[in-house]
């Protein structure tokens, strides 16, 4: 869940930005969520966070060493490049501000467990 720092405020949300995972080759997240912002001695205010980003896999897929567990957790990793933008607006604190994230490096992770699905 996103966390944003804006104008002395810490802004949080319990909402999730919708994401679409298409394997280790591509992941995208697009949506707008409400923010609740506060800080020491500051009144609570609200705002919005809009995310429109894509991770594009680059290079080979590697396997993380197995994680000790009862279910045999397997994690695949692939380097990725992030593109898109993130916009924050908190009226009275931060005007609508957009940051481009083109070319930011990242990693796509995919985890698989051998445990049967819960009831």
72 occurs within a structural domain: yes
119 occurs within a structural domain: no
Per-residue pLDDT of the chain (119 residues), as tens digits, is 678 888 889 999 999 999 999 988 999 999 999 999 999 999 999 999 999 999 999 999 998 777 677 777 788 899 999 999 999 999 988 899 999 999 999 999 888 777 776 64
14 occurs within a structural domain: yes
> Which residues on adjacent β-strands are paired with residue 23?
none
Q: 101 burial class (0-12, 13-18, 19+ CB within 10 angstroms)?
A: middle
117 occurs within a structural domain: no
Q: How far apart are CA 23 and CA 61, in angstroms?
A: 11
101 occurs within a structural domain: yes
15 occurs within a structural domain: yes
Q: Write down the pTM of the prediction.
A: 0.77
Q: Total domain count for the chain?
A: 1
64 occurs within a structural domain: yes
CB 47 within 8 A of CB 17: no
- What domain range includes position 68? 3-112
92 occurs within a structural domain: yes
Strand ranges (DSSP E) for the chain? 3-6, 9-12, 19-21, 26-39, 42-63, 74-90, 94-100, 104-112
């Amino acid at each position: 869940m996103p966390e944003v720092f804006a104008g002395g405020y810490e802004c949080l949300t319990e909402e999730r930005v919708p994401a679409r995972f298409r394997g280790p080759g591509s992941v995208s997240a697009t949506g707008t969520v409400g923010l609740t912002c506060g800080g020491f001695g500051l009144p609570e205010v609200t705002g919005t966070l809009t995310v429109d980003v894509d991770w594009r896999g680059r290079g080979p897929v590697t396997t993380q060493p197995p994680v000790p567990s009862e279910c045999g957790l397997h994690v695949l990793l692939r380097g990725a490049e992030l593109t898109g933008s993130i916009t924050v607006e908190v009226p009275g604190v931060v005007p609508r501000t957009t940051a481009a994230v083109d070319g930011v490096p990242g990693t796509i992770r995919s985890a698989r467990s051998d445990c049967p699905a819960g009831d």
